[in-house]
């Protein structure tokens, strides 16, 4: 695993790359689809696959009074990203400076400047920049203007049609629907996650396949 701390990363330190954008809390099936597309594109274009994420989670800074249920710690996120195939991970420190950085500046200074992006992969609902000023439509236009490739990933859904997201997984856990949470994660709940989220294996209540 190679972790790039973007605050101290010099320009030109990263090989030409495919950047996979996201927060990646939980590294659920939607995130895994982003990673697959990033790996596929990197292989086709002979580029370095890189995941970009944040520390702390942006909502910790944007809404500090909101009791956010974090699905994964930073280390857990990194380990899961590596498990699913990407070994180069860039981390932006999400502080007040980052919060007030415009999408255009982030695109030029971080994605193009520091990460040497030649192609960018993003989910359908991804936004970045001050107050989310850059959605995927604007990102696509920015990429086209710089000759950078762009891949937009459609929503990944459960068999019942529910869009998979970190928020949906948090709701499932709060509702004690652990089977649904596991379905959206694409794997059993890790013991470390269960301990941190205070999930108990009560007979008849936990139906995720981890307990008798």
The token duo for 177 is 């629907």
Split at pLDDT 50, 70, 90, the class of 210 is: very low
Domains of the chain, first to last: 2-153 (3.40.50.620), 157-212 (no CATH)
Q: What is the mean pLDDT of residues 60-71?
A: 87
Backbone angles phi, psi at 211, to 5 degrees: -130, 160
Among residues of the chain, what percentage have pLDDT more than 70?
A: 94
What is the rounded distance in angstroms from the CA atom of residue 202 to the CA atom of residue 95? Answer: 39
At residue 32, the pLDDT reads 98
What is the rounded distance in angstroms from the CA atom of residue 37 to the CA atom of residue 3? Answer: 20
Q: Is residue 205 pLDDT above 70, yes or no?
A: no
The token duo for 84 is 């699913």
Split at pLDDT 50, 70, 90, the class of 208 is: very low
Question: pLDDT tens across 87-122, in order?
Answer: 999 999 999 999 999 999 999 999 999 999 999 999
The answer to whether 109 and 73 have CB atoms below 8 angstroms apart is: no
Among residues of the chain, what percentage have pLDDT more than 90?
A: 83
* pTM of the predicted protein model: 0.90
At residue 201, the pLDDT reads 64
Strand 117-123 vs strand 17-21: parallel, antiparallel, or unpaired?
Answer: parallel
Q: Is residue 195 pLDDT above 90, yes or no?
A: no
What b/e sequence results for 12-45 when a residue is b if at least 16 CB atoms lie within 10 Å of its CB, and e otherwise? eebeebbbbbbbbbbbbbbbbbbbbbbbebbeee
């Amino acid at each position: 695993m190679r972790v790039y701390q973007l605050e101290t990363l010099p320009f030109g330190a990263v090989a030409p790359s495919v950047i996979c954008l996201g927060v990646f809390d939980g590294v659920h099936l939607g995130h895994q689809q982003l990673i697959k597309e990033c790996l596929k594109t990197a292989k086709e274009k002979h580029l370095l696959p890189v995941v970009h994420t944040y520390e702390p989670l942006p909502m910790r800074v944007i809404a500090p009074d909101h009791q956010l249920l974090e699905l994964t710690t930073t280390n857990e996120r990194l380990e899961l990203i590596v498990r699913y195939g990407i070994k180069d991970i860039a981390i932006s420190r999400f502080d007040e400076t980052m919060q007030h950085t415009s999408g255009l500046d982030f695109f030029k200074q971080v994605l193009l400047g520091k990460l040497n992006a030649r192609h960018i992969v993003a989910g359908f609902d991804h936004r970045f920049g001050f107050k989310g000023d850059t959605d995927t439509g604007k990102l696509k236009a920015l990429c086209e203007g710089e000759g950078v490739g762009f891949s937009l990933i459609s929503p990944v859904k459960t068999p019942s049609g529910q869009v998979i997201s970190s928020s949906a997984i948090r709701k499932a856990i709060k509702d004690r629907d652990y089977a649904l949470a596991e379905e959206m994660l694409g794997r059993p709940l890790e013991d470390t996650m269960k301990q941190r989220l205070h999930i108990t294996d009560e007979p008849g209540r936990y139906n995720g396949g981890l307990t008798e």
